[in-house]
Amino acid sequence: MTKLHFHSDVQEAIENKQPVVALESTVITHGLPYPQNVETAVSMETAVKSGGATPATIAILSGEIHIGLTREQIEYLGKQPQENVHKCSRRNIPIAIGKKEHGATTVAGTMILAHQAGISIFATGGIGGVHRGHPFDVSADLQELSRTPVAVICSGAKSILDLPATREVLETNGVPILGYQTDMLPSFFSRSSGLSIDIRIEDAKEAANIIQSHQALSLQNGLLITVPVPEAEACDPVMIEQAIQKATKEAEAAGVHGPESTPWLLSRIVDLTNGQSMRANRALLQNNGFVAGQIAQSLTKLT
């Protein structure tokens, strides 16, 4: 088994059966620009702590798997040019390790390594999905949710995606979608996609009960707990949809596709919305960290 390098706080929490929340690193290297990426990663860790759990940001540094990063390591990763860091879903993890290079884990990559580390709760912004106009560009996140038992707390899938198709794939793959204080699947930058979820839950305790039932059944798939972006920072759905359509057309014209697609669209949408999409992105990441911390704590009390 490949060695996992645990941050001492994370190691201690796991040994003492205290709640831990995994966090991804692609959002740091490919999701937000420096220095907002580092600030957001650090504030998300703080939010997890306020929720009552120990944060464990996961990344590969010089070919070594780290479960929990120091402030310096987050800063170091956040300053790396994108081309120095492998964007690691399942298929890229052995490449980054074998080449002893840096790797930032996506939702898929983070689920795999969190599970290996014994962490079952993971908070992020949004999962990948089916790309608009490219029904065969399906994020490896969806596949991973069908095969790795980790609960992912997020604000749904980014609205740059084909959300109805994404929802269908999740359904086929047997991934339960819980709506945290909502009846609708959130659409990342705004609070609702108009698509339904499987069940509404009101608090962390209710989420923990369902996660525990899932674990007790030894099901091998993941779970999604979707939390809408906080009201104050939510984007107007019409405004954001216009920006998405414009950015998508431009990406098409520029021939951007595959793994470059998500980072390219996200940064173009920040420009087109004068930074409003970034404020929403940061607010929801922080809020999801807090909610995940509370869920992890409730789950610890149950088990």
> Has 24 been annotated as catalytic?
yes
**Binding-site size, Mn ion (CB under 5 A):** 1
Site string for Mn ion, 48-87 (x = CB under 5 A): ----------------------------------------
Complex with ligand PSU: residue 45 or 141, whichever CB lies closer: 141
Q: Is 260 in the site for Mn ion (CB under 5 A)?
A: no
Distances (CA, A) of 115 to 54, 94, 219, 220, 298: 16, 16, 13, 11, 19
Among residues 45, 87, 144, 158, the one annotated as catalytic is: 158
> Where are any strands of DSSP class E within 170-257?
177-180, 199-201, 223-226
Question: Taking CB positions, which residue lies at the least distance from Mn ion?
Answer: 137
The Cα–Cα gap between 150 and 242 comes to 34
CA distance 170 to 149: 14
Partnered with residue 30 across adjacent β-strands are none
Which C-beta is closer to ligand PSU: that of 26 or that of 54? 26
Which residues make beta-bridge pairs with 134? 131
Look up residue 181 and give its DSSP letter. T
The CA distance from 124 to 117, in Å, is: 18
29 secondary structure, DSSP code: I
Minimal distance, residue 295 CB to ligand PSU, in Å: 19
Shortest spacing between CB 107 and ligand PSU, in angstroms: 3
Residues near ligand PSU (CB under 6 A) are: 24, 26-27, 30-31, 89, 106-107, 125-126, 128, 139-141, 259, 262-263, 266, 281
Within 126-145, which residues bind Mn ion (CB under 5 A)?
137
- In the complex with Mn ion, the residue whose CB is nearer, 66 or 86, is 86
SS3 255: coil
Residues that bind Mn ion (CB under 5 A): 137
Q: Which residues are catalytic?
A: 24, 158
